[in-house]
Amino acid sequence: MGDGMTLSGVLLVLVPMCCLMPGNCLPTILGGLKVEQKTFYGVTNFSTFLLNSSSGILFLGAKDAILAVDTNNLKQPPKKIDWVVPEEKRKSCVGKGKTEADCNNYIRLLEFQKDGHIYVCGTYAFDPQCAFLHVPSFTLEKTEDGALRMETGKGKCPFEPSQRYTAVMADGILYTAATSNFLGTSYDISRATGPEQERVRTDQSINWLNDPEFVSSALIEQAPDSNPTGDDDKIYFFFTEMAKEHDLYTKVPRVVRVCKSDVGGMKTLQRRWTTFLKAQLVCEDKASGQRYNILTDVFTAQHSPGDPSSTHFYGLFTSQWEPNDISAVCVFSLFDISKVMDGPFKELKKTCENWNSPETVPIPRPGQCLNNDLKAQGFESSLKLPDKVLTFVRDHPLMENSVTAAPLLVRKGIKYTKLAVTLMGEAEDRRGAVLHLGTDRGELHQVAVANQNATLLQEIPLFSPEEPVNNIIMHQGRALVGSPQSVAEVQTEGCALYSSCEVCARARGVGCEWSTEDNTCRFTLTDPGSGDVVDEALKKCNSQGRCDPSTKWLKVSPGLQILLPCVQLSPRPCSWEYPPHRHTRQHHSDLAVTVTEENLGSYVCTCQEGGPNVRDPTPCRRAAFYLHLEEPNASGSFGQNGNRHHLAIYVLLFFVGLVCGAFLLYFLTLKKNSSRPGNRAPDNLLSSGKEQKLLCSSATPQSQSSSSLVSDGFRSSEKQNGKTTSTTATTLLSSQGNGGPHANSYSGGSRVSSNPSNGHSLYGNCDTGGSGLKLNSEILVANALGGRTGDWRRPDLGEKEPGEGNGADELLGARKTGLEDEFVSLSEFQAPLAPCEESSI
């Protein structure tokens, strides 16, 4: 059903934002696609866009400010109006339990009035207020005494900055869907401005609105020359609410229709809508059974300009039951919505709490808009409707049937936030549409849709990943894209934007064709013919077909974790064929692989797709990979530049080791000469009461009567009950050398030594706490200094040969001398010494 072709070649990357001063912008060329980006110093939290299409001025609602940006010259500094909350009101807001950040004035509503003014509403520290913007002077109107001219914004603008709402202006009258109280627990769809007696709102019943999240609204005007029945203009509201007709806690997308001339009833439904009807929107792929029940955004487009009956609503959905991000687009026609609104009503029987269709419907039909027929019967206004009609409308706002559509595209692992649509071709010869989808990570995706086939054209990064796209407005072949911090302008219309044959081929379904004469992509009215038009166009580019991808060979190594991509725009599932092994996991349509020698080989992704009016899915190969090990070539040299670099590093380290060994040998020679009796330091250097830090040498103490402590210690050490013990006079403790807790650490400026032959550290840190003694060696120094701390055991020296003398005394004296020589240059330290704890090897 969808075509998930990704953009070939290098991914278009936008340089990070660098515009820090007002009026500065960043022009960028992305593969022939011109992008201009603008940030504004000191102004943030852009939430509302309003475009004057005739002048190209874009009005931005932000925190405590309103900006006017000339889209024809983004380099020009914007105009700015500050509208802040008085300090007393801000403190009162904080005192009511709101945060400092929320107690500002967030501009949430900008709408043109009939007289050319802009109606501006802000949260105003949880007390919504509205003002009037004079466009020529770009100032807020004031009263005669110089104060700002304001009126209440309750029911017109949200109280909280993050609350969802929608509004539309019809003949200078504002229609809104927003919260109507401080706590955000009351919701209204209302005519918010105009004569006081004509302001109507919804009935306070959960049958009408049940915890809604408002998304979008649209005015459908009837052209007088194409409206023979005299039907009234209608306003449509789109939102998601809790479904009262379902037993489960389920969210359901809705569409509500009210009529512009509705002024409420005379007795029943006074100042309430008498034409309030709502229906469920169903975005579902029947083949897979997947339903998308949360509405995120709606874009309204007339497929034939000037013909309201050709209006289509493109809805952006996600799923309540999907644990990960998933986005779908479904399109609903005005004809289908009108058909459901004219169908049967749904009723909840009080006896069994089940919804059923009512048996009798009064005349005239409840919820019907005024037309010539009703006026001929004497119903010139909703005030003249009979009570039985109004009572029926009050109790039966929900329609029995649903407005259903199959998704045009589905993207898993991606969260789309905003949607705009460009219709391709003339009204008489529509060649599909291009969907412009903003993501929660600051990207703009372009998807071509022809009939029921969707093809990914480009993925354009615009903002930082922390800036979601929250506004998209189409204007003169450009998309004005907004985030909470920035604005970007992207060229969107015209086949010439697709600078490569492959990208142009993916847009073949919407009328684009590659010209080999001048290497450009052009719009054409030539019928692409039947079959897979994208596949045929790709073959003309000497590229692999859409369902016949080339196999990519990947050099891997055991233990490597890789993600094999398989982009799919269809709601149908994707599956992988690969060598049977457990070290694989499918993430949406992609496949995560942990490489082993057993799972090398071919990996093929096949997705189920369907064409126009085709219910049975057809398989399509979307990606193919072959994994093989990275090995040296036949000559024995390294086949990768990285291996050559490793070899050079090893050679360099070898020579550095030789130099260091020479210096170490020279140092040990000097130490051996300085350890003679004539150069011996007095014993009181090791027994003074002064508090000092004891530093260990990187060399091992040597003496004539004993071999190296390193060699002795490791030859005679054993491991018992998880600890290392030694039968020599000196106990050596070690820690894991490969990144262990003592490896390559410092104490008092002395480096820790390690033995490269076995990977264990011979020296570690030891801290005696209050005594101030810090040993950078794990030798039990106190034992070798006469047993001042702990119990020193006499080593087993074996039988003594005749004439050999007291071997134990000589060994003790020699090793004590070696230790004294080791610390001869140091100050005295406090005694007694505490032995270091042993650590397991």
pLDDT at residue 816 greater than cutoff 80:
no
Residue 288 has a pLDDT of 77
Q: How confident is the model at residue 273 (pLDDT cuts 50, 70, 90)?
A: very high
pLDDT value of position 28 = 52
> Poorest-confidence range of 46-60, 559-573, 773-787?
773-787
- pTM beyond cutoff 0.85: no
For tokens 């918010």, name the residue.
192
* pLDDT, averaged across the chain: 76
pLDDT tens, residue by residue, 105-144: 999 999 999 888 999 999 999 999 999 999 999 999 999 8
Which tokens is 345 given? 């009503």
Q: Tell me what pLDDT residue 739 has.
A: 40
Taking the mean position of all CA atoms in its chain, how far away is CA 76? 32
Q: Quick check: helix, strand or coil at residue 820? A: helix
* pLDDT tens track for 183-206: 888 999 999 999 999 999 999 999
Cα dihedral across residues 432, 436, 439, 445: positive or negative:
positive
> Do residues 25 and 38 make contact, with C-beta atoms less than 8 angstroms apart?
yes
Q: State how far the alpha carbon of 542 is from the alpha carbons of 142, 517, 550, 707, in Å.
A: 67, 15, 12, 76
Tokens of 391: 């009572």
Residue 454 to residues 504, 608, 781: CA-CA distances in angstroms?
14, 13, 77
Spatial distance between the Cα atoms of 413 and 567, rounded to a whole number of angstroms: 10
What is the CA 732 to chain-centroid distance, rounded?
53
**Above 60 in pLDDT, residue 660?**
yes
pLDDT band per the 50, 70, 90 thresholds, residue 617 = low
Distance CA 518, CA 495 (A): 14
Which of 161, 182, 53, 184 has the alpha carbon at shortest distance from 109? 161
Task: Give the per-residue pLDDT at 214.
Answer: 97
End-to-end CA distance of the chain: 62
Q: Are residues 405 and 282 in contact, defined by beta-carbon separation less than 8 angstroms? A: yes
Instruction: Considering only residues 533 and 802, tell me which one the structure prediction assigns the higher pLDDT.
Output: 533
Q: Is the pLDDT of residue 445 over 90?
A: yes
Q: What is the CATH number that goes with domain 552-629?
A: 2.60.40.10
CA–CA distance, 443 with 462 (Å, rounded to integer):
5
* CA–CA distances in Å: residue 832 to residues 72, 688, 691, 835: 83, 10, 11, 10
Check pLDDT > 70 for residue 25. Answer: no
Distances from the Cα of 810 to the Cα of 49, 386, 673, 806, 807, angstroms = 92, 122, 19, 6, 5
What is residue 673's predicted lDDT score, i.e. its pLDDT?
64
Q: Tell me which of 98 and 33 has the higher pLDDT.
A: 98
CB crowding 350-389: b at 16 or more within 10 Å, else e: eeeeeeeeeeeebeeebbbbbbeebeeeebeebeebbeeb
- For residues 797 and 620, which has the higher predicted lDDT (pLDDT)? 620
Per-residue pLDDT band at 316 (split at 50, 70, 90) = very high
pLDDT at 644: 54
Best CA proximity match to 547, nearest among 505, 606, 490, 501: 606
| Interatomic CA distance for residues 133 and 561, integer angstroms | 58
Round to whole Å and give the CA distance between 332 and 238: 12
Q: Identify which of 76, 68, 29, 24 has the alpha carbon closest to the alpha carbon of residue 48.
A: 68
Residue 397 above 60 pLDDT? yes
552-556 and 618-629 beta bridge pairing: parallel
* Dist. CA 810–CA 796, nearest whole Å: 14
The ranges assigned to domains in the chain are 43-199, 552-629, 681-795+810-841
**Cβ atoms 741, 785 nearer than 8 A:** no
CA trace torsion 809, 810, 815, 817 (10° rounding): 100
- For position 473, what pLDDT does the model report? 96
Asked whether the beta carbons of 514 and 501 are under 8 A apart, the reply is yes
For residue 654 the two structure tokens come to 């070898």
pLDDT value for 285 = 86
Q: What percent of the chain has a predicted confidence (pLDDT) above 90?
A: 41
What is the per-residue pLDDT for 618? 72
pLDDT band for 87, please (50, 70, 90 cuts): very high
Q: How far is CA 250 from CA 187, 206, 254, 841, in A?
A: 19, 14, 13, 59
Residue 428 has pLDDT above 90, yes or no: no
| Token representation of residue 196 | 């006081």
Mean pLDDT of 361-368: 92
Q: How far is CA 802 from the centre of its chain?
A: 84
Dihedral of CA atoms 200, 202, 204, 205 in degrees, nearest 10, equals 150
Residue 798, pLDDT above cutoff 90:
no
pLDDT surpasses 80 at 766 = no
Identity (one letter) of the amino acid at 495? C
pLDDT of residue 250: 85
Query: Tens digits of per-residue pLDDT, 661-712?
Result: 888 888 787 766 655 544 444 443 333 333 333 333 333 333 333 333 333 3
pLDDT value of position 354: 56
Mean pLDDT of 547-567: 86
What is the mean predicted confidence (pLDDT) over 223-233?
Answer: 86
